[in-house]
Homo-oligomer: A and B are copies of this chain.
């Protein structure tokens, strides 16, 4: 994970259509969905959906696999873990004792080690 990848991911999820696509695919888990199903479920014209699927795929947030004339899309959830790790990389400057009320034990490695960090 780096700055450019993170930006691309955030740009991808900053669109209502793409956010709904991503959340839908997370709900569908390993099965995923083919493009047409996504289009009819979310009531987005196929041509527009294709534009958004391309953006999500380019960001790595979803994967695509061909099935005959269908394209099956699946969410890439682990990428979200990388992104969170990138954001909280050097939380509290790596000094747990300064974390105090930062209140993000569940997300910040340093806060978890802090005396006031709730595990």
Contact B80 A84 (CB under 8 A): yes
* A51→B59 CA distance, assembly (Å): 26
Majority DSSP secondary structure for residues of A touching B: helix
Contact B30 A87 (CB under 8 A): no
* A111→B5 CA distance, assembly (Å): 25
How many chain A residues have a CB neighbour from B under 8 Å? Answer: 43
Contact A16 B29 (CB under 8 A): no
Contact pattern, A 82-106, Cβ under 8 Å of B = 1, otherwise 0: 0010011111110100111111101
Could you list which residues of chain A lie within 8 angstroms of chain B, going by C-beta atoms? 3, 6-7, 10-11, 13-16, 19-20, 22-23, 26-31, 77-78, 80-81, 84, 87-93, 95, 98-104, 106-108, 111
